[in-house]
Amino acid sequence: MPDAVTSGQGPLDGRLVLDLSHALAGPHAAMMLGDLGARVIKVEAPGGDETRGWGPPFVSPPPGGAADTESTYFLACNRNKESVTADLRSPEGRALVRRLVRRADVLVENFRPGTMDRLGYGADRLHLLNPGLVILSISGFGHGGPHGDRPGYDQIAQGEAGLMSLTGEPGAPAKCGVPIADLLAGIFGVSGVLAALLERARTGRGRVVRTSLLSAMVGVHSFQGTRWTVAGQVPEATGNQHPSIAPYGLFHCADGAIQIAVGSEKLWHALASVAGLAADDPRYATNADRVGRRAELAAELEGVLRWASADVWLERLADAGVPAGRVRTIDEVYDWEQTRQQGLAVRVDHATLGPITLPGAPWQFDGGGRTRHLPPPTLGQHNDSVRSWLDETDETTETGDGAGDAAAAARDAVRVL
């Protein structure tokens, strides 16, 4: 597929993603597909994705540059994309979407259920235009049920799905420090898209992949979910201590805190040896015993740890093979050599801001992956280039809902991965 912008390398190199989404869950999913090498065209309303206004912080271009500022929130979830503006309700916008749908492998949207149908972009219509299209639809609370039409906002979903009851100190529900419901909905959506693309390689047909913020939160309940569904226990928040393993959590030293994870009896004996505790103390004989006396054990352990610095204890614990680590601030993470070595920060040249650093993609591939990342686009930055590309690749005259659409459907019916 000819590209107006080179997509670089990656498993999805040569695939086209049409991003009709906004805010975070959908844009995060589309960005991940771009990180995997796909070309992503983001269609924004003339006023732009609302995250362009989410701040502070906003970043200003260098002196002498453009007057507009950029939201760091938008920058976080829109790398490796091109931006075109269109009113999806206007004839011109509808024509643009049709042209892109015919060429796309994946379409991403996160409107409230029913919105795409009301706009004239229902799944049946889209698959008439392109039978091979994989559609990712992300909602707040699912695509049916008594709460299916509710708007999806991350913190509300964290509360409704039980996550906040598990987070923070006992009796003080707390949200996660990142919009985890949005992010995980995007990640689960991408896994469904990749499976649908594999299926399309066999069948030539695309399908609709649906997920939601609620689904994402319930999908990561893990052992906290089975505590209720199997054991009949309602989990509660335990702060920075693990509810089912001890000692496992945050502990204070002379000059700060470290985290220690003792996940086996072997590790318990190793930690006891380093800390001068009695490994065979009957109060702490088994993990269940230690969990039952979690607060008592934590106080005893911290009484020892407070005699030396975090650096000293981390070295001693490492020598003994006991998993432990620091609690880093965000700036320390990006200054950490391990982060840089793993490619978890990427440098891009933004159209107005110049060189900026972004969080990088969370995977690597043998033989190399995407070698060049595109900066998050300014609003409508690719209006001309995308439309020119569409003009160059048109094989039939755009004729709306008639013969042109039928011809496109027939032509696209044989398209596979």
pLDDT digits (tens, 9 = 90+) for 97-136: 999 999 999 999 999 999 999 999 999 999 999 999 999 9
Phi and psi at 223, nearest 5°, equal: -65, -20
Instruction: Choose the final residue of a domain: 281, 312, 331.
Output: 331
Instruction: Write out the two tokens for 277.
Output: 């505790």
Nearest to 349 by CA among 123, 79, 68: 79
Report residue 228 as tokens.
């209720």
Whether 18 has a pLDDT exceeding 70, the answer reads: yes
Euclidean distance between CA atoms 161 and 157, whole angstroms: 6
CA–CA gap between residue 297 and residue 247 (Å, rounded): 7
Residue 292 lies in a domain: yes
Asked if residue 229 is part of any domain, the answer here is no
Determine contact, residues 209/136, Cβ cutoff 8 Å: yes
Q: Is residue 215 part of a domain?
A: yes
Q: Do 298 and 197 share a structural domain? A: no
What is the DSSP annotation of 108-132? EE-PPTTHHHHHT--HHHHHHH-TT
| C-alpha of 350 from chain center | 22
Residue 6 lies in a domain: no
* pLDDT band of 402, cuts 50, 70, 90: very low
Same domain, 310 and 366: no
How many independent structural domains does the chain possess?
A: 2
pTM comes to: 0.89
Res. 7: pLDDT tops 90? no
For range 327-345, the mean pLDDT: 95
**Residue 102 counted as domain residue:** yes
pLDDT score, position 369: 76
Residues 186-196: what's their mean pLDDT?
98
pLDDT number for residue 417? 28
Instruction: State the pLDDT confidence band at 372, using cuts at 50, 70 and 90.
Output: confident
Q: What is the pLDDT of residue 164?
A: 97
Q: Do the domain assignments include residue 225?
A: no
β-pairing verdict for 16-19 and 39-44 = parallel
Predicted confidence band of residue 84 (pLDDT cuts 50, 70, 90): very high
What mean pLDDT comes out for the span 363-382?
A: 88
- pLDDT tier for residue 367 given thresholds of 50, 70 and 90: confident
Output the domain CATH number for residue 271.
3.30.1540.10
Question: Average pLDDT in the 365-392 region?
Answer: 91
**Domain identity same for 172 and 289:** no
Are 138 and 274 members of one domain? no
In a domain, 228, yes or no: no
Give yes or no: residues 150 and 26 share one domain.
Answer: yes
User: What is the rounded distance in angstroms from the CA atom of residue 315 to the CA atom of residue 312?
Assistant: 5
Give the pLDDT band (50/70/90) at residue 189.
Answer: very high
pLDDT at 194 over 80: yes
pLDDT tops 80 at residue 63:
no
Pair 175, 255 in one domain? no
- pLDDT tens string 243-254: 999 999 999 999
Range of the structural domain that residue 122 is part of: 16-220+339-412
Q: Which residues are catalytic?
A: 182
Mean pLDDT value across the chain: 91
Same domain, 290 and 347: no
What pLDDT score does 403 carry? Answer: 36
Select from 331, 351, 371 the last residue of a domain. Answer: 331
Would you place residue 62 in the very low, low, confident or very high pLDDT band (cuts 50, 70, 90)? confident
Among candidate residues 331, 364, 395, the one where a domain is terminated = 331
